[in-house]
Structure 1
């Protein structure tokens, strides 16, 4: 079994009605790698973890009234997950693969003002995913000039 303990950083945890199907979908559609699953006495997935690069996403069931899949709450989301591909990866092929595996593509791959190419997808239970790859490394001054926005390190 791979390293089970995470180093300092962030992880997302998502609730699903059918966490087994979600676990399989995320591997097939986005290329996440299974790390481990914890099953209950009825062989139901209660917690699973998957890796993507140095990141971890946790997959679980709807374990309280406050932990619900978007499919259980009229498709509402309070977050989306961003997946960063390695520079040079083919995001158009990644999108086509995700679509073929059952992802709903909400936004086709498009180049953004900050030098990334991104697409947006929705998994079968309604979680939103943005996938991006760096095409051109730009400075904040360069992307501000293109976008008309202002980038600073801090609010104050």
Structure 2
């Protein structure tokens, strides 16, 4: 298997928001992402963006109900479809409790407070919490406490 392109993980996710410009700012404030690139479309919306957290990369783009289909299918924010999520995003952080407080202070809806999830001595143990972002995407943040 050939390696992924330089500075890209083998797997990354694209998330769609009604207002991608606003979402990018919110994700940086609430979840501590850094902006790698943002390409503006002619209408002022976001044509493409890349945000990073360590080696993780997400792409954020427009996904309002008025947007045309991309890649042959419509892409929508959970906000435009009654809050439904068909996926969630999981990210490892260094301190789940502190990260949760940062997210809460920025207005994230905490769906599950930080808690220990111990899968037994032959597996691992994480402290994790769940949060909804500004458009209702479900995020799961974890801190590994035992490998």
State the TM bucket, normalised to the shorter chain: 0.7 to 0.9
Measure, in 1, the Cα distance between the counterparts of 2:146 and 2:9.
28
Matches within 5 A, 1:18-29: 18-29=19-30
Mapped partners of 2:6, 2:44: distance in 1: 23
Structure 2 runs not aligned, ≥5 long: 120-124
Query: Aligned residue for 2:80?
Result: 72
The 1:67–1:5 alpha-carbon spacing in structure 2 relative to 1, beyond 3 Å, is: farther
Quick one: distance in 2 between partners of 1:81 and 1:100? 20
* CA–CA distance in structure 2, aligned partners of residues 118 and 8 of structure 1: 22
Partner residue in 2 for 1:121: 131
Find the counterpart in structure 2 of residue 104 from structure 1. Answer: 109
- How many residues matched? 131
- The alpha carbon displacement at 1:8 in A equals 5.1
Residue 43 of structure 2 is matched in structure 1 by 42
> TM-score, normalised on structure 1?
0.79
TM-score by length of structure 2 reads 0.83
Equivalent positions of 1:83-94 (< 5 A) are: 83-85=91-93, 89-94=94-99
Shift of 1:42: 2.8
Instruction: Tell me how far apart the structure 2 counterparts of residues 44 and 76 of structure 1 sit (CA, whole Å).
Output: 23
Cα separation, 2, equivalents of 1:42 and 1:72: 20
- Within a 5 Å distance, the mapping from 1:136-155 to structure 2 comes to 136-137=146-147
- Report the alpha carbon displacement of residue 30 of structure 1 after superposing the two structures with TM: 0.7
| Unaligned stretches of 5+ residues in structure 1 | 138-156
Deviations along 1:45-76, one digit per CA (max 9) or x if unpaired, are: 12111011111000000242620000001111
Q: Whose radius of gyration is greater, 1 or 2?
A: 1
